[in-house]
């Protein structure tokens, strides 16, 4: 009986020591960068949302909104009929909204800002640029304005706008 009690006490003490050793260990969690592909959709609750400002901007001379979504959910901006050699600025066409729970760094780029003598720029307080970067806290949004400079040629032209978002690592 004494040996059993002694073994029980020794086992209990060793168990407590083992638990205290494990509980006192420090754990570190690290993450590796990941590549992610995303499809932009007309969804105001998407992780990074592009929200059309189709009510405040109004309608083009063709009767359609300047900014809307097509049937695939892509954000579409239509300046309508613009004269040659003109400069047209449409402010607050769409918002980039961060619906994530982390701060993100956002870059909006027009990869080919000049096509057939026509130029499209992101309109900022410091002027027109082809790349615009900013940081968005969780739940924050940034309005995007565009400036179209038309050349002397008539016809239609299409530009691409790329929006990239990257999570900002927390400060140590």
Residue 73 belongs to domain with CATH number: 2.60.40.10
What H or E segment, with its residue span, contains residue 15? helix 2-23
Say if 135 falls within a structural domain.
Answer: yes
92 Rama sector, left if φ>0, alpha if ψ -120 to 50, beta otherwise: left
Say if 121 falls within a structural domain.
Answer: yes
Say if 131 falls within a structural domain.
Answer: yes
Say if 71 falls within a structural domain.
Answer: yes
Span 81-135, pLDDT tens digits: 778 888 888 888 889 999 988 899 999 999 888 888 888 899 988 889 999 999 9
Say if 4 falls within a structural domain.
Answer: no
Report field, pTM of the whole predicted structure over 0.75: no
Residue 132 near residue 143 (C-beta atoms within 8 A): no
Domain containing 115: what range?
48-167
For the record, the structure tokens of 28 come out as 């570190």
Confidence band (pLDDT; 50, 70, 90) for 61?
low
CA distances from 82 to 2, 89, 116, 156 (A): 99, 11, 15, 10
Which stretch of 2-11, 32-41, 76-85, 87-96 has the lowest confidence by average pLDDT? 32-41
Say if 33 falls within a structural domain.
Answer: no
**How many structural domains comprise the chain?**
1
Per-residue model confidence (pLDDT) at position 161: 87
SS3 21: helix
């Amino acid at each position: 009986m004494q040996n059993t009690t002694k073994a029980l006490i020794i086992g209990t003490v060793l168990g407590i020591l083992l638990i205290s050793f494990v509980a006192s260990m420090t754990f570190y969690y690290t993450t590796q960068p990941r590549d992610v592909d995303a499809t932009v959709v007309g969804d105001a609750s998407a992780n990074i949302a592009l929200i059309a400002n189709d009510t405040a901007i109004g309608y083009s001379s063709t009767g359609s909104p300047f900014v809307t979504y097509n049937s695939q959910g892509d954000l579409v901006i239509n300046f309508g009929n613009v004269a040659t050699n003109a400069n047209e600025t449409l402010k607050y066409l769409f918002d980039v909204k961060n619906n994530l729970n982390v701060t993100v760094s956002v870059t909006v780029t027009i990869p080919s800002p000049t096509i057939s003598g026509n130029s499209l720029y992101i309109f900022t307080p410091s002027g027109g640029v082809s790349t615009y970067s900013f940081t968005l806290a969780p739940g924050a949004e940034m309005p995007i304005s565009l400036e179209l400079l038309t050349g002397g040629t008539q016809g239609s032209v299409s530009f691409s706008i790329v929006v990239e978002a990257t999570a900002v690592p927390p400060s140590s």
